[in-house]
Chains A and B, each alone.
Chain A
Amino acid sequence: MRPYANKLRLNRRSLLAGLTGAAVTAQTSAAQDGLMPWMQTLGDDDLPYGLPGPRVANVVRRPAADSPGFEIWHTPLEHLRGTITPNGLHFAVHHNGIPDIDPAEHRLVLHGMVARPLSFDLNSLARYPLVTRTAFIECAGNSATNAVSPWARDMTLGDVSGQISAAEWTGIPLRILFDEAGIDPAATWVIAEGADGGRHMRSLPLRPLVAEGMLALYQNGEPLRPSQGYPMRILMPGWEGNAQIKWLHRLELADRPAWSKDESGLYADPLANGKLRMMSLAMSVKSVITAPSGQQVIAPGPRQIEGLAWSGRGRIARVELSVDGGRTWTEARLQAPVQPKALTRFSLPWDWHNERAILMSRATDETGDMQPTRDIWHDIFAGHSFNHFNAIQAWSINRSGEVKNHYA
């Protein structure tokens, strides 16, 4: 029989049944022999907003292993390819939950050391010329477990380092709004505040925000997800996520920082010399091997070593791979395009034949900054410091192919 005829008739089934009550009998014939079951029936209906299928139900975010009392969701990096994170899988840290903001009532207020304090609603903002840019966002506390745990905990890549994601963001350059309000020449800081219940707030240096900051309204082409700050957030490529205020409702220009909770404590960096480094914003060069990675079991034979590299200070210049715990290094292939402050995917083919191995990736960015070893990182940061941990990640592989988080 002609398969298309069958398909057409089935497509009209519900219509016919509705109009005439006629039942349509299923077609079976010798012509279907040897076909997969899904080739023999009409498929499912689509949805108004598509969802991942049940066959990939494991590709989901997971909450952080150690909850500090507020929500942390990790991107399952080991399940994803490419360099863009699907919106529903973008990592998220909410210090005060996700607010349910009415876009008609939301206002962004720009005040403080400006010539003309201004208030913007979403409809007006939508009439500005928008720009688009791909950027990663990483939580300052990404990989904290490997920074502080005395032993390497057996975890997946997503569980260790899933507080990094990337998207194509669209919005208004902050400079346009600042200029409209008229920056007081003595202003050096911006106090940025979200409209969440707890009004997350950070003090941010003004100059970099003028140069590169965006009021982001869209994420991968659709309005921001509530989890990412709907209706608007700061996007400042390269900075720690905590500073890229979600649900943004207030920007106050000032000549000093306000010393909010997070810049005073949780997001400060205790150093090995006893000092407390505060207001560190740029995320340093870092990379992770996504495959093979933690808790996977690999089979002997040919495969690809693959991973992601990024730097908050520009482009990735080079990624080197080691399978012998860092004794020898081989330069990996970088997939184009290599964009600044975005994710760069790297890979190398690898034949594995049941030998013990310790895999490591070491990225260098265009400023010449290279990832440190865990030991060197701890020469600078205190033993209990957990922010801005960008040391080389290692995975050990035993003879049975079991991959484990490893300190090397």
Chain B
Amino acid sequence: MPKIALLALIAFTTAVFAVNAALSQVSDQPAITGSPTPALGQPFEEVDLPEALRTIWPDGRNLPEGRGGVAEGAQVYAQQCASCHGATGVEGPNARLIGSDGVFGFGDPLRPVRINSHPILILSAGGMWPHATSLFAYVRRAMPYGAPGTLTDNEIYAVTAWILYRNGVLPKAGVLDRSSLPQVSMPGAARVVLDPETAAAVHHPNPTRSRGTQSNAGSAD
């Protein structure tokens, strides 16, 4: 009996192996199966994002250390910016930084030029932009044009201070850093209306906030 049992067992296992081999041969055949969403993204750690690539928010989050005032800013401006934006930030030839968003007077010597050839010179960051942080963030990423990233954060705070002083929203003694910059209130802010289609698209009927750091969900600022 044990011999027969052994033989039977051997026969059985052999058969199982044979079937398995046959099956595995079948599954080695190419077949078109797959996911329409291959999910090939590599895990990424938020902390690995270089500091320079972190969004600077209107509430001041991600603003760097450093500080700068109007007086130093005037020097930075004269050396690094005036050649393109004009001696006082109004003349151009490139974007106007000070004053008007279009309400320019008949006494303005550049009026005909502004109207016809340089419509962009009738807008200004100082007149329109609703948040002071945007000024710092943009100069930091893109200015001076053609040589972004060449200013120190102190110099950027300083030149931002000078632009805001010239726009009448910062006193001459004003000094900016990561805590004071978001406090500056900009003349444009009161006039902003969010485009109605965009407002509808970001309307969140019942936002469940899962991240404590991001409050004021859905607000326009």
Chain A residues in the interface with B (C-beta under 8 A): 66, 68-70, 95-96, 109-111, 113, 116-121, 124-125, 127-129, 144-145, 147-150, 153, 176-177, 179-181, 184-186, 188-189, 191, 193, 197-199, 201, 205-208, 250, 252, 254-261, 264-266, 268, 270-271, 274-282, 382-386
With A252-B55, A256-B214 as given contacts, are A278 and B193 in contact (CB-CB < 8 Å)?
A: yes
With A69-B93, A184-B211, A278-B195 as given contacts, are A250 and B217 in contact (CB-CB < 8 Å)?
A: no
CA distance A120 to B102 in the complex (A): 43
CA distance A266 to B55 in the complex (A): 20
Stretch of B10-18, B71-79, B125-133, B161-169 contacting A (4+ beta carbons < 8 Å)? B125-133
How near does chain B come to A107, taking the closest CB pair, in angstroms? 9
Q: B43 on the interface (CB 8 Å rule)?
A: yes
User: Interface code B184-199, partner A: CB below 8 Å = 1, 0 otherwise?
Assistant: 0000100111110110
Of A180, A193, A206, A260, the residue contacting B41 (CB under 8 A) is A180
Residues of A close to B220: CB separation below 8 A:
256-257
Chain A residue at minimal CB-CB distance from B59: A256
Chain A residue at minimal CB-CB distance from B188: A276
Residues of A close to B197: CB separation below 8 A:
280-282
Q: Are B37 and A266 in contact (CB under 8 A)?
A: no
Of A153, A259, A271, the residue contacting B131 (CB under 8 A) is A259
Within 8 A of A (CB), among B66-120: 84, 93-95, 101-102, 115-120
What are 18 A-to-B residue pairs whose CB atoms are below 8 Å? A68-B95, A69-B93, A113-B214, A118-B43, A118-B44, A144-B119, A176-B37, A250-B53, A255-B211, A256-B217, A259-B133, A259-B134, A264-B188, A270-B123, A276-B193, A278-B194, A280-B195, A383-B102
Kindly state the interface size class of chain B when it binds its partner: 35 or more
Residues of B close to A181: CB separation below 8 A:
41
CA distance A116 to B95 in the complex (A): 40
Residues of A close to B117: CB separation below 8 A:
66
Residues of A close to B40: CB separation below 8 A:
120, 124-125, 127-128
Of A116, A264, A279, the residue contacting B129 (CB under 8 A) is A264
Chain A residue at minimal CB-CB distance from B35: A129
Q: Are B45 and A117 in contact (CB under 8 A)?
A: yes
Chain B residue at minimal CB-CB distance from A117: B44
Q: Are B208 and A185 in contact (CB under 8 A)?
A: yes
Q: Are B119 and A66 in contact (CB under 8 A)?
A: yes
Q: Are B123 and A265 in contact (CB under 8 A)?
A: yes
How near does chain A come to B149, taking the closest CB pair, in angstroms? 8
How near does chain B come to A121, taking the closest CB pair, in angstroms? 8
Residues of A close to B39: CB separation below 8 A:
180
Q: Are A186 and B208 in contact (CB under 8 A)?
A: yes
Q: B141 on the interface (CB 8 Å rule)?
A: yes
Residues of B close to A270: CB separation below 8 A:
101-102, 123, 128
Q: Are B53 and A193 in contact (CB under 8 A)?
A: yes
6 shortest interchain CB distances as A-B pairs: A118-B41, A384-B102, A198-B142, A205-B201, A124-B40, A280-B195
CA distance A255 to B57 in the complex (A): 11
Q: Are B120 and A68 in contact (CB under 8 A)?
A: yes
CA distance A72 to B191 in the complex (A): 29
Residues of B close to A186: CB separation below 8 A:
204, 207-211, 214, 217
CA distance A177 to B39 in the complex (A): 8
Of B45, B120, B195, B219, the residue contacting A256 (CB under 8 A) is B219
Q: Are B134 and A128 in contact (CB under 8 A)?
A: no
Within 8 A of A (CB), among B22-46: 36-46
CA distance A193 to B50 in the complex (A): 14
Q: Are A275 and B193 in contact (CB under 8 A)?
A: yes
Chain A residue at minimal CB-CB distance from B139: A261
Of A109, A201, A259, the residue contacting B130 (CB under 8 A) is A259
How near does chain B come to A227, taking the closest CB pair, in angstroms? 18
Q: Are A120 and B195 in contact (CB under 8 A)?
A: no
Q: Are A277 and B193 in contact (CB under 8 A)?
A: yes
Chain B residue at minimal CB-CB distance from A198: B142
Residues of B close to A145: CB separation below 8 A:
119
Q: Are A268 and B128 in contact (CB under 8 A)?
A: yes
Q: B49 on the interface (CB 8 Å rule)?
A: yes
Residues of A close to B120: CB separation below 8 A:
68, 266
CA distance A70 to B122 in the complex (A): 17
With A250-B53, A280-B195 as given contacts, are A189 and B202 in contact (CB-CB < 8 Å)?
A: yes
With A255-B218, A256-B214 as given contacts, are A384 and B122 in contact (CB-CB < 8 Å)?
A: yes
Known: A109-B49, A256-B57. 17 other contacts (CB 8 A): A68-B118, A118-B41, A119-B44, A124-B40, A128-B37, A150-B115, A153-B116, A188-B218, A205-B198, A206-B201, A207-B201, A255-B209, A256-B216, A256-B219, A264-B129, A278-B193, A384-B122
Q: B171 on the interface (CB 8 Å rule)?
A: no
CA distance A79 to B209 in the complex (A): 53
Q: Are A384 and B123 in contact (CB under 8 A)?
A: yes
CA distance A386 to B114 in the complex (A): 13
Chain B residue at minimal CB-CB distance from A185: B208
Chain A residue at minimal CB-CB distance from B220: A257
With A124-B41, A150-B116 as given contacts, are A185 and B210 in contact (CB-CB < 8 Å)?
A: yes
Q: Are B217 and A188 in contact (CB under 8 A)?
A: yes
Residues of A close to B49: CB separation below 8 A:
109, 111
Chain B residue at minimal CB-CB distance from A128: B38
Q: B137 on the interface (CB 8 Å rule)?
A: yes
Residues of B close to A70: CB separation below 8 A:
145
Residues of B close to A386: CB separation below 8 A:
119
Residues of B close to A193: CB separation below 8 A:
53
CA distance A144 to B123 in the complex (A): 14
Chain B residue at minimal CB-CB distance from A189: B202
